[in-house]
Structure 1
């Protein structure tokens, strides 16, 4: 036991200092971003080099149904070989005993990576960048709501009760008083993040009732996706300690803004470490404009990955802090692609379309894939948008079905993300969408039952 625990990341070692490790959770992200895996005694984990799960975990919809994506051999549920990435070992500080979590990578029996495992998809895209001599750097922003417990799906979601005894109020963006309303939950979020070795760049109140945003420091895309994957669970656990839910739905409350996962991008030259979006004279480079053009040209095709559910598209409404088009602008939060204020070394491009309901591995992979295609195709963007982009027309799909139509035809995007991933993802999301279309909504019963 002592041998392998001595090589743990510093935060995990500090968490276990003077304590006896009881259990290790061996986990992997499925397509929705849910942690799948097994919990094993620490003594068993010390002896195992890998464990097995069936490949069918990647064919499952968010409802627990299945897409017919198993391929020509049929639905035989082959075992995958899941190998730990010990650099991801981190505490599970909400558990009753001393537990670690470890993210695993998926391989088939021949040692080949499973191409539709989300973490493998992101690694594939990052490798394409490295092959060109570029190092991608990202910084995700996570928005979410703290809401009252919702035990009956037929009931509307309500804001949580704040420290004052009143429900969380909306339209209080950046208010420190509003943040204080959720102080006990935020304290646990900070404590859990510290135990797990995660650095939070800041927590702010957003525009919705009970809506918060957490910013993470920029870094390696796979590492940051791992952190968002971990953070979703961490935040949910912190909320449950205080009799409320944390939700990452894109649009949980009808009259409130939605929740996004803005993704900031920059690119470094592998040899020099310089930001290739900035020239020696500090001006913007061709690569800077090619990346923007890639987002403009390909992001509609990728939207089914960044906005993966029917609810995702309820967020894209004019004047509700979510973009409706693929315009770009400097320091303009009404555009879908924003260039924030920054010095030349920190020049970056922000994708504002991705919803917080996304799988972080897949959304970051898709966003990077769009930028990569712009770079390799040497595209040029439209002219910078000046003014309020909400005054323009929307140019992104308005429903999941339309987004899937575009994704299924996007062969260039499939070539970057992986054709086998694209095949499986499309089948699973179609199955999920078809299932949704069988549900009769309260709106239909209210307005159509006796009037048509």
Structure 2
């Protein structure tokens, strides 16, 4: 009688592999039938193809139209202009699997795997407008200096009732008590417990994919939650945020509700952020370059802050990528309105948390949760990098509230795009192709927004003007 195989632990089930040969064994050992071959597009949406595992094993590299990286959030494509030219032939690019991201899809009805791909031209060049490749490019700038950036994202999101008509405002869902939340429940354990079954699924789905949750809390808004991730490599953490968003949305649908990462989904509630904790290690010593051996802050630490202060307004179109994103950035709404910095100060754009010297870091509180994690992390790290190589000094830290200080961030998407285009220092880190493509996509999205008449316009203009 054949000896039964010992069941794999959740960690073993979820672990990525090193190469194609190991992937074949990994897929066969788990009896997986289908595989989702995915790539994050400019909005952070999973694009790609689904195929039988047997076909993937025979040909893991696949072709897909390059236009997936020029698609807007509405599914349209921008028009040609002087800098951005659409490939009229819609030629193919190649998607190459990153086997370290191989994981199961725990919510799938059939045994299914998933793997994130990188995009290349047919001649082997990286597709430089692909968000994952852009983040690799920024990490490469650090590596060239002998630095290794480390990040830890925090994601806020709302749970809401299913909403089939976009004209109707969103409502909080019904919890296990049979009632919806009626007031702010910041850090309430009981409010989290209202959705225990949902969070059990989120934890189970995450463990099955090798995603590591650090903490889960109830945030300030009604049915607003926050999940914090453990610190690590920027590309790996961007992958985790990308997969976490999908995981949380899938789990919520199972429980007859939606999870939304819109920056400002409910008018009178706080917006949702994606805070990014950032530090930099020496690749030679492994030590945090923000601290001296004696534990004091270094010149690099202050220059990193200075770079973020100078350049974050110029990359806001990636940190706040939609018209809705700027509704979050209001005074005294738990979101920053400027790029001042301070020690353990949550009212500024750049907070320095209390920590040991080895864990000294800069928390960027500006990005919204609707941001593409690859682009938001790349943009934030690029600002810190420019500050260090240019020797940019920050202004003095703020004590007390920064909410009443002058606005230091753009107030809308078009203003943010203009700042991005006009900053010559960003040309090298991001490249001409990415800048022109991203600008064209966002202008196209803005034009579709302008075709919509809002309730505010009907309320105050219909009979008064």
Q: What interval of TM-score do these two structures reach, taking the shorter chain for normalisation?
A: over 0.9
| Alignment correspondent of 2:172 | 159
Secondary structure of residue in 1 paired with 2:388: helix
Matched, 1:108 2:92: no
1:89-146 Cα distance to aligned partner (Å, 9 max, x none): 1111000111111000000111000010000000000000000000000000010001
Give the RMSD, CA atoms, in angstroms: 1.7
Displacement after TM superposition at 1:11 (Å) = 3.5
CA contact (8 A) 1:169 1:210 kept: no
1:15-54 Cα distance to aligned partner (Å, 9 max, x none): 9796411101000001000000000001011111301111
**Aligned mates of 1:407, 1:327 — CA distance in 2:** 20
Matched, 1:67 2:69: no
| Alignment correspondent of 1:52 | 63
| Alignment correspondent of 2:19 | none
Given candidates 310, 323, 345, the residue that maps to 1:332 is 345
Call closer, same or farther: CA 1:351–1:13 in 2, change over 3 Å: closer
Call closer, same or farther: CA 1:16–1:82 in 2, change over 3 Å: closer
Matched, 1:24 2:35: yes
Matched, 1:37 2:48: yes
Given candidates 258, 279, 301, the residue that maps to 1:245 is 258
Call closer, same or farther: CA 1:13–1:440 in 2, change over 3 Å: closer
CA contact (8 A) 2:14 2:207 kept: no
**Aligned mates of 2:151, 2:426 — CA distance in 1:** 20
CA contact (8 A) 2:205 2:247 kept: yes
Given candidates 422, 425, 447, the residue that maps to 2:438 is 425
Q: How many residues align?
A: 446
Displacement after TM superposition at 1:254 (Å) = 0.5
Call closer, same or farther: CA 1:340–1:13 in 2, change over 3 Å: closer
Given candidates 218, 230, 236, the residue that maps to 1:223 is 236
Displacement after TM superposition at 1:65 (Å) = 1.0
CA contact (8 A) 2:15 2:102 kept: no
**Aligned mates of 1:405, 1:62 — CA distance in 2:** 20
**Aligned mates of 1:73, 1:269 — CA distance in 2:** 41
| Alignment correspondent of 1:289 | 302
Matched, 1:12 2:32: no
Given candidates 77, 85, 99, the residue that maps to 2:90 is 77
Given candidates 332, 342, 366, the residue that maps to 2:355 is 342
| Deviation beyond 2 Å, 4+ runs, structure 1 | 9-19, 68-75
Matched, 1:402 2:415: yes
Displacement after TM superposition at 1:69 (Å) = 5.7
**Aligned mates of 1:238, 1:206 — CA distance in 2:** 19
TM-score by length of 2: 0.93
Displacement after TM superposition at 1:58 (Å) = 1.1
Secondary structure of residue in 1 paired with 2:403: helix
Given candidates 359, 366, 385, the residue that maps to 1:353 is 366
Moved more, 75-84 or 238-247: 75-84
What residue ranges of structure 1 are gaps of 5+ in the alignment?
1-5
1:198-234 Cα distance to aligned partner (Å, 9 max, x none): 1110100000111110000000000000000000110
TM-score by length of 1: 0.96
Given candidates 196, 200, 204, the residue that maps to 2:217 is 204
Displacement after TM superposition at 1:168 (Å) = 2.5
What residue ranges of structure 2 are gaps of 5+ in the alignment?
1-7, 17-25
**Aligned mates of 2:60, 2:395 — CA distance in 1:** 51
Given candidates 332, 346, 353, the residue that maps to 1:319 is 332
| Alignment correspondent of 2:131 | 118
